[in-house]
Amino acid sequence: MKKKTRILSFLLATVMASGLLAGCSSDGGDKDSGKEDGGKKDSIVIATMGETPSLSPTEHNAVAGSYMNILTYNTLFKTSMDLEPVPDLVDSYENVDDSTWHFKLKEGVKFHNGDTMTADDVVASLQWAQGFAEVNLYNKNFISISKVDDLTVEIKTDGPDAMVLSNLTSHGNAVVPKKLIDEGHDFNADPIGTGPYKLVEWKRGDSLEFEAFEDYFEGAPSIKHMTWKIIPEGSSRTIALEAGEIDFIIEVEAMDADRLKENSDLSVIEYNATNLTWLMLNNEVPGLDNQDVRHAINTAIDKESVVTVAYNGMATPALSQMPMNFEGATEENADTYDVEKAKEWLEKSGVDPASVQFSIICSDDTKKRAGEVIQANLKEIGINCEIESMDLATYLSATAEGDFTAAIGGYSSDSLLSYVVGVYHSSSINASNKTRLNNPEVDALIDKAKITVDAAERKPIMEELSALLNEICSQAPIYQPISMRAFDARLQGVEITDGGTIFWQYVSWGE
């Protein structure tokens, strides 16, 4: 894993009293509004590109949704800064035998409704989550979930399973009150969990407002009021941060990165994201179901140009079907940019390039810029395609259901094993396997890796899988972004995993 690069700039030592840009907090005041009695600011406004499809932990498999879920829910385990699963609601645990795990829960954890969490809630939550196609890839390996005592849960798997702990970090396995599950509670409208924040209001298409949960088991968060603004346009997010209308940008517009870094009132953190962006190709569509056609498309794309145009150079051109900052990923059998080779792939396919016509769905400006470069590249080999803009929620629904030909998208995970299960295993079709790849050899290698608990023994299996996926070429890897977060430099405790996770309960304002 590459080491994070943190680029931090600091506030000017002297602040002009009346010459500052007028900043806004969630209540529309200036930069001094939203303060506690002691004078320390206690509110924050965060800008994000896309709106969550759901506030329920089980009804989506979207990054935008996970940003919200981590505020209101907890899971048995969470991901550490080193991308390792570590206890969250669990006090201690034991791998009793190859297929049995015991988890001792933390005592006295409160839900937002005032109830105290017990093993009954955990058992009910995990069993409930198994009924949702969007997230059951993270829990279908649990063949038995039962209560040992009021604070102990037993999970059984069908033999050795290397994914148990990492799966328990998934938002889909969030713990909610059993009583509410039994009552048919709508967790999308009212997300009751144990998390550090409670929902106040969701204004669809505009914003989500949260307040600190004072009975949070780790202690009440320092920031008491939190507003997430939905701002799809990257430049608008940048301008809002510079003007003090927001305090934090989740998705930094790459074209604005340099000027944000030069602003002494702001801090910028860069990190090597585990997200890989591809041109997703629906392998069930005639033409795109031909492996040689997919190789032709992949080989025809000038990924260096895509990175320059779409990401202002703030990304690494991708060749492998796996993120290269995971051990086990390889570029063996991967295509490189070669227009003449692309034409040879098309000739070998026996498919008339004029018959391979499709639309590339793009859900934001960065993807649209990438799509325009790809469109021009493919025209050189006789393939015509259109660019189609679509809001994130519609895009997620269409691609999950297979109602598309091509789209620019990505996937992020905290472990390579979870990544390949989500993106390439046939069990994830109609969820996160957007290309709808259904290959028995791929499934067999993934299944073999899942039962290989020892990481050293699992690595050659993953390398074999990586080479096979490069050969199949179910989609065209484009780039692996160097992700950024930009924020008011007075914020303290901001840490981001390579998976993009921020634990907001540890963030506070400086004096």
Q: What are phi and psi of 204, to 5 degrees?
A: -50, 130
Q: State pLDDT tens for residues 458-468.
A: 999 999 999 99
Give pLDDT, residue 61. 85
- Whether 424 and 438 have beta carbons less than 8 Å apart is answered as no
Q: What is the pLDDT of residues 370-408, one digit of tens each?
A: 999 999 999 999 999 999 999 988 998 999 999 999 999
First to last CA, the chain: 35
The total number of residues written for the chain in this structure: 511
pLDDT single digits (tens) 466-498? 999 999 999 999 999 888 999 999 999 999 998
Quote the CA–CA distance of 509 and 511 in Å, as a whole number: 7
Mean pLDDT of the chain: 91
- Distances in Å between the Cα of 83 and the Cα atoms of 77, 356, 376 are 12, 40, 38
Rounded to the nearest 10°, the torsion over CA 129, 132, 136, 140 is: 70
Q: Do 365 and 312 form a contact (C-beta atoms < 8 A)? A: no
Reported as a single tens digit per residue, the pLDDT across 242-283 is 999 999 999 999 899 999 999 999 999 998 888 899 999 999
Report the distance separating Cα 209 and Cα 480, nearest Å: 32
Contact 293, 342 (CB under 8 A): no
Query: CA angle 435-327-163, nearest 5°?
Result: 70
Q: Where are the beta strands (DSSP E) in 195-252?
A: 197-203, 207-212, 225-230, 248-249
pLDDT for res 498: 85
Work out the percent of the chain whose per-residue pLDDT is above 70: 92
Q: How far apart are CA 271 and CA 488, in angstroms?
A: 18
CA distance 224 to 210: 8
Distance CA 106, CA 217 (A): 9
Specify the DSSP element, H or E, that contains 441.
helix 440-450
Sign of CA dihedral 242, 244, 245, 250: positive
Reported confidence tier of residue 198, pLDDT bands at 50, 70, 90: very high
| H helix intervals, 205-338 | 234-242, 257-261, 291-300, 303-311
Per-residue burial over 338-372, b if 16 or more Cβ lie within 10 Å, else e, is: eeeebbebbeebebebeebebebbbbbbbbbbbbb
Give CA angle at 18 (12, 21), nearest 5°: 70
User: Rounded to an integer, what distance in angstroms lies between the CA atom of residue 53 and that of residue 393?
Assistant: 6
Closest CA to 395 of 134, 47, 50: 50
pLDDT of res. 35 = 59
CA distances from 121 to 60, 90, 147, 172, 283 (A): 21, 13, 10, 14, 40
Neighbours of 127 (CB within 10 A): 16
The confidence band for 359, taking pLDDT boundaries of 50, 70 and 90, is very high
pLDDT at 39: 63
